[in-house]
């Protein structure tokens, strides 16, 4: 049975055997859920005034300085009724290939940012879990928006 997280504008389901860390960074609520294998999925709720493109550019710049040969693909997708923008990243770390995703959407007077990453062998196993957590988060956001209407 999945566990449920709900706090500070973020709500989603996640595997009960994953580790959850709740944090407030610069006044913004953030939560990270880590798999037993080391992959992780993070979500943050930020001020509506946050420019998600600048935020993503900052993350990309940091990743480029950390990981030589970082491959970046811009992404637009619809998930659970929400328009997501972002990037897919591929890079080497400790001689292993890794995949990461940066996504964001603006709704409910906030910007929601999602970041997930795993070594590729693990990623193949948990990509659906990352997707399910994202759908769960976005469904909760949509439900909240409908209840506020």
pLDDT in tens, 45-70: 999 899 988 988 898 899 889 888 89
For residue 70, give the nearest of 79, 61, 78 by alpha carbon: 61
Rounded to whole angstroms, how far apart are CA atoms 142 and 136? 10
Q: What is the pLDDT of residues 91-124, one digit of tens each?
A: 887 777 999 999 999 886 899 999 999 999 999 9
- Per the CB < 8 A criterion, the answer to whether 43 and 137 are in contact is yes
DSSP state letter for 24: E
Q: Is 119 helix (H, G, I), strand (E, B) or coil?
A: strand
pTM over 0.85: yes
Count up the domains in the chain and report the number: 1
CATH number of 125's domain: 3.40.1000.10
Neighbouring CB atoms inside 10 A of 48's CB total: 11
Residue 123: which domain range?
A: 3-148
Rounded to whole angstroms, how far apart are CA atoms 93 and 96? 5
């Amino acid at each position: 049975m999945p566990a449920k997280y709900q706090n500070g504008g973020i709500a989603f389901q996640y595997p009960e055997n994953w580790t959850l860390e709740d944090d407030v960074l610069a006044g913004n609520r953030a939560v990270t859920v880590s798999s037993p294998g080391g992959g992780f999925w993070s979500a943050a709720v930020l001020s509506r005034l946050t420019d998600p493109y600048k935020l993503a550019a900052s993350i990309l710049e940091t990743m480029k300085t950390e990981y030589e040969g970082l491959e970046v693909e811009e992404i637009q997708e619809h998930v659970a009724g929400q328009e997501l923008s972002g990037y897919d990243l591929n890079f080497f770390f400790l001689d292993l290939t890794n995949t990461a995703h940066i996504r964001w959407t603006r709704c409910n007077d906030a910007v929601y940012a999602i970041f997930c990453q795993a070594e590729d062998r693990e990623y193949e196993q948990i990509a659906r879990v990352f997707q399910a957590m994202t759908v769960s988060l976005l469904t909760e956001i949509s439900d909240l928006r409908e209840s506020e209407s």
